[in-house]
Structure 1
Amino acid sequence: MQKYNWNYPTTMWVGENRINDVASACKNLNIKKPLLVTDNGLAQSVIVKNTLSILKEGGIIAALYSNVVGNPTGTNVNEGADYYKKNNCDGVIAFGGGSGLDVGKAVAFMSGQNLPIWDFEDVGDNWTKANSDKIAPIIAVPTTAGTGSETGRASVILNEETGVKNIIFHPKFLPSIVILDPILTVGLPAKMTAATGMDALAHNLEAYCAPGYHPMADGIALEGMRLIDKWLLEAVSNGSNIEARMNMLTAASMGSTAFQKGLGAIHSLSHPVNALNNIHHGLSNAIFMPYVLTFNKDVIENKIIKICDYLELKDRSFDGFVNWVLDLRKKLDMPHKLSEVIDEKDFDIDRLSKMALADPSTGGNPKKLTEDDMRIMYQNSMTGELFK
């Protein structure tokens, strides 16, 4: 029998206004001077200003690094790590969406390393090169319900020199304490709520369809999809619904927990267009989802029918599930074709197909993939034609 490694999340403080406990989280981890890492937009927001005030009232003065961009770069991480050391920080509060969380985790990691960040790409046992004792403690505070980076052991960082998004991995990337507070997501615009929600769906869906033996991840992924089915549309149409926001935050964390089992071609196709065309990751995942599903049909049909049963869909068939995805995207006012967000002249299919095949997510796809397969899926996503 093949051997597997199963890992599960960390301490999670969940509920309305749990951000009020952020100073307690620092004290719990013996963090006296944290660096709060976020993007510039959030740095100007009420929720970040309130968080800094809560920390100050608790006797903790935090430094702030907010140069994070939407598709975070190695420069963001290096700048953040330098700022961390310059301010004599002793821990990181990673605050925001996937970009803020990924950079925050990577800053905590790189603050104690001498090798370049790219030496720790998630290939083989690269992570063992790190000095584990020098990795700073991390508190993660997500403000979107999508990436689930708060329960992940990796960060996705763009290498500006190569134009490739690299997955940087280490077990200690996993935050020590996660604060899931739905109040922090209430102000998220409807379009971003929709895109991040589809990202969470892609994580749960691809994890469930990935080959390998991990029934616990399968169970989490199924329930994550049920929560998304029940609450995503409500969170988008009524952003002040705290129950909907809480359930979507939970589903996002569940997706990241489940995809330790693997991802697949939805992510393989997404990462290159995120890097080269600056398309939002959740949006690209939503676009690619039905093309990858129909491409993989012959090996995932039985699994998809089980999802239909669990979601209690009216049409409990493979086509019924694909139609559910298409209908959900339509209700969320999301594009069906990649050509709706990328101009043909900016679409380098040869380069994209090579990058997609080399993406670490490719290995988790239910069907073995070739560069031609990637090209065909890209072409279909541009024309809007699903596989028959």
Structure 2
Amino acid sequence: MEITSYSMNWHYPTAVKVGAGRISELAKSCGQLGMKAPLLVTDPGLAALPMIEQALQQCRDHGLRPGLFTGVKGNPTGGNVADGVAALKEGDHDGVIAFGGGSAIDAAKAIALIANQSCTLWEAQNPAMVDVSKMLPLVAVPTTAGTGSEVGQAAVISDEESHTKRIIFNARMMPPIVILDPELTVGLPPKLTAATGMDALAHNIEAFCAPVFHPMAEGIALEGVRLIKEFLPRATADGSDIHARLQMMVASSMGATAFQRGLGAIHSVSHSVGALYDSHHGLLNAIMLPYVMEANRPAIEEETVRLARYLGLEQANFDGVMQWMLDLRKELDIPHTLAEIGVDDSQAELVGKMSAKDVTARTNARQLDAAAYQKLFLNAVNGTIQGV
């Protein structure tokens, strides 16, 4: 059923302002959190678009003194976070606006977390090292529908020295106010709409299949997959379809809410490959999806039957779900192999070892060792969908 009204207020998992035009409430939201001088954190590409200056001007018009930090890479690094903290302190800012895709939001969350701490960013991987009373207030404004970082309790940051991705987790990292305005995603090109949407699908699928007792997250993930099935093709084909854009933003947030239950090997490999090859995270997840599903097949047959029935697939079993995923990827022009995006097999052994150690491997539907992850990676490079 189409929604006739696009203005709602949600309070789960956090305060979410949902609907077209809700970006007009950005300055008010900052004020609600006590900010007088917020630092807007985004990436260089988005910084060149009118929406950023409009956001800054809105803050000025409401008596705030905003600043701008744009030094965030596609895979944000510890150096990006350190530079953001320096900009925050130099400008005497008292809060953060996370504005952009998952990379900008993750970096902004890390900046707000660490700016006033006595521990380092990497030490903050241990939540006990963090004084939550010193964390800065944060408003998150996503401009893509993929990572769901706006409602996540973690930030994924690349360690340039070890060439690994580290996950900084703290339950208090979830932004207290989120603005989901589909109008901010209208200009997202079809290829990025598809890749980020498939990222959201990977989140929901892995959360649904994770072997952890969390029925609420399981239910959220199931509906998130259904929304993506219905609306991702629409949003990709017609970027001006506000209803589809809104539903994809919702599905993205649902994925990140659901993966409090856990993720899995899609992310274990994507984190490793992303750190080594600096590849787009959402696209990596989109490519890895069927290879991991096949690898996990012995453990998820029952789950995929339920998923297929809920999605209304003609073939209500694992094969039906797999075929739907492959058809969706083809419809969205997602590459079938890692080789197609420039990832070779020269570091296969290292990818296997890194993936087995990645924190997301703990909640994969099957426990895989480094050799299995290496084979899984090679399958995705070569385009061979088979078990490991």
TM-score range, shorter chain: over 0.9
Within the alignment, does 1:101 sit opposite 2:100 as a pair?
A: no
* Alignment partner, residue 162 of structure 2: 162
Out of 67, 73, 98, the position equivalent to 2:71 is: 67
Give the Å deviation of 1:110: 1.1
2:36 partner amino acid: K
- Look up the match of 1:149: 149
Secondary structure in 2 matching 1:145: coil
1:27 to partner: Cα distance: 1.2
Residue in structure 1 matching 2:114, options 99, 102, 110: 110
TM-score w.r.t. the length of structure 2 is 0.95
Q: Deviations over 1:213-251 (max 9, x none)?
A: 111001100110010000001100100000000000000
Structure 2 unaligned segments of length 5 or more: list them.
1-10
Measure, in 2, the Cα distance between the counterparts of 1:250 and 1:109.
25
CA distance 1:223–1:233, shift in 2 (3 Å): same
Name the structure 2 match of 1:241: 241
Answer whether contact 2:277 2:343 (CA < 8 A) is retained.
no
Distance in 2, matches of 1:76 and 1:252, equals 25
| Contact 1:147 1:199 (8 Å CA) reproduced | yes
**Residues 1-388 of structure 1 aligned to structure 2 (within 5 Å):** 9-121=13-125, 126-344=126-344, 347-387=346-386
1:348-386 CA distance string (max 9 Å, x none) = 011111111110100010111101110111111122111
Give the count of matched residue pairs. 377
* Deviation string, structure 1 residues 46-95 (Cα, Å, up to 9, x no partner): 11111111111112121000010100000010110111111111110000
Task: Spell out, residue by residue over 1:99-136, the C-alpha distance to the aligned partner (whole angstroms, 9 max, x if none).
Answer: 11001111101111122111122xxxx11111211100
Q: Distance in 1 between matches of 2:377 and 2:129?
A: 36
Same amino acid, percent of matched pairs:
49
Tell me which amino acid in the other structure corresponds to 1:45.
Answer: L
Q: Is the 8 A contact 1:357 1:370 kept in 2?
A: yes
* 4+ long deviations beyond 2 Å: 342-345
- The residue type equivalent to 1:366 in the other structure is A
State the TM-score, normalizing by the size of structure 1: 0.95
Partner in structure 2 of residue 4 of structure 1: none
| Cα deviation, residue 343, structure 1 | 4.6
* 1:337 CA drift (Å): 1.1
Shift of 1:344: 2.9
**Matched-pair contact (CA < 8 Å) for 1:164–1:275:** yes
Give the Å deviation of 1:8: 5.5
Q: Which amino acid aligns with 1:353?
A: G
Distance 2:164 2:195 in 1: 22
CA distance in 1, matches of 2:298, 2:213: 19
Counterpart residue identity of residue 202, structure 1: A
Task: Measure the CA separation in 2 of the matches of 1:344 and 1:265.
Answer: 19
Question: How far apart are the structure 2 equivalents of 1:9 and 1:107?
Answer: 22
| DSSP 3-state at the match of 1:50 | helix
SS at match of 1:117: coil
Is the 1:207–1:217 Cα contact (8 Å) retained in structure 2?
yes
Alpha-carbon shift at residue 339 of structure 1 (Å): 1.4
5+ residue gaps, structure 1, are 1-6
Corresponding residue number in structure 1 for 2:6: none
Aligned-partner Cα distance in 2 for 1:30–1:381: 48
Cα deviation, residue 169, structure 1: 1.1
Name the SS of the counterpart of 1:213 in structure 2. coil
- Matches of 2:234 and 2:306 in 1, distance apart? 24
Q: Contact 1:8/1:257 (CA < 8 Å) preserved in 2?
A: no
